[in-house]
Amino acid sequence: MIWTNRIEVNPEVLLGKPVIRGTRIPVELILRKLSEGAAVTDLLDAYPRLTEADIKAAFAYAADSLAHETIVLQPALS
C-alpha cells in the first residue's frame, strides 16, 4: 500500500500531524480507536469521508514510521 496518496502532513492542518488527505481526521485517531476495540465499520459510520483504503493507509504509514525509527537504549542508572 502506498500511503502517500492518502496521508498528508501539512503544517497548516492540525499542527502538521499526519491526517487523511483532504480531511482533518488524524492517523493517530484511527489507530487509537482501532486499538481500543472499534471495528472498521464503526469508524466508517462515524467518519463518512473515511474509506477502508484510508484505514489501510494509516496502518501502512504507522508501519513505515516505525520501520525508520531508531531506538537508543540507555544503561540503567544504579
Q: What is the pLDDT of residues 38-65, one digit of tens each?
A: 999 999 999 999 999 999 999 999 999 9
> Residue 7 belongs to what H/E stretch?
strand 7-8
Strands (E) across 13-76 are located at: 19-20
Instruction: Report the C-alpha gap between 38 and 35 in whole angstroms.
Output: 7
> Residue 43 belongs to what H/E stretch?
helix 40-46
Handedness of CA 35, 37, 40, 46 (dihedral sign): negative
Predicted local confidence at residue 29, as pLDDT: 97
Contact between 54 and 5 (Cβ < 8 Å): no
Domain ranges of the chain: 3-7+17-67
Provide CATH code, domain 3-7+17-67. Answer: 1.10.10.10
